[in-house]
Amino acid sequence: MSPSATDNTTDFGYQRVRREDKARRVRGVFDSVADNYDLMNDLMSGGVHRLWKRFALSLTGLRPGQVALDVAGGTGDIALGLAKQVGARGLVVLTDINAAMLAHGRDHLIDAGHLRGVECVQANAEQLPFADGSFHCVTIAFGLRNVTDKAKALASMRRVLKPGGQLIVLEFSRPADALRPLYDAYSFRLLPLLGRVVAKDEASYRYLAESIRMHPDQETLLAMMRDAGLEGCRYHNLTGGIVAVHRGYRY
């Protein structure tokens, strides 16, 4: 539920916290999980997150020499895919609000041999420090649900798109009704257990499960993208709606 205009709180999982405190709390979660982030992604999804990301990347339409931005890019999986698409003559900018995650992303890109044509910038998705019309494509994968003001972030990402540029949002969403009981059992029983055993942090992974439930569903996010001024908006459900890819353009 969205806070009212006079409500200075927002969701942090199932808790209500002061809006100015959410970014700090989210930063604490990702400081804690950064070292095990990639391993936990593989364990939590059975490796399927790689297929979700591959599908999102297949939609970018990027060509060699173009410029792309990956927001809240974590450990760099999407940025690496973008770098392969734009090639040596292009540029990919990887941003994350969390320094620990950004450091992992930078190391991932360096280890993959991308020493040029990639920049890493610590930045808040709500206030991207780039000029209007800078990028042919902007992506955000599994990061929007952690943003305090999602509408402001969507507007910020639209602003930095070139005319004709595309925003791609890959995020957990609302699964089909038939999947929901099993998905809930997995999210609130197995996921925190994996967090406790592998990452030594049950609370952060419980928050991640809760944050998914608080994120706008497919149709709500579609409307938010249109409200942000994006056009031609649509979405693709993956794995029965557990994940969705939303797309929209700046014309």
How many CA atoms does the CB half-sphere of 231 hold within 13 Å? 6
What's the confidence (pLDDT) of residue 5?
A: 43
- Contact criterion met (CB below 8 Å) for 141 and 173: no
Fold of 9-176+206-249: Rossmann fold (3.40.50)
pLDDT of residue 80: 97
User: How far, in Å, CA of 209 to CA of 80, rounded?
Assistant: 26
| Reported pTM | 0.93
Residue 128 to residue 72: CA distance in whole angstroms? 11
CA–CA gap between residue 66 and residue 213 (Å, rounded) = 36
Give, for all 251 residues of the chain, the pLDDT tens digit: 444 445 799 999 999 999 989 988 998 999 888 888 888 899 999 999 999 999 999 999 999 999 999 999 989 999 999 999 999 999 999 999 999 999 999 999 999 999 889 999 999 999 999 999 999 999 999 999 999 999 999 999 999 999 999 999 999 999 999 999 999 999 999 999 999 998 889 999 999 899 999 999 999 999 999 999 999 999 999 999 999 999 999 99
- Give residue 48's pLDDT: 96
Q: Are 248 and 232 in contact (CB under 8 A)?
A: yes
pLDDT at 4: 43
CB atoms under 10 Å from CB of 107, counted, come to 13
Say how far apart CA 170 and CA 66 lie, in whole Å: 21
Segments making up each domain of the chain, as ranges? 9-176+206-249
Q: What is the CB-side half-sphere exposure of residue 59 using CA atoms within 13 A?
A: 24
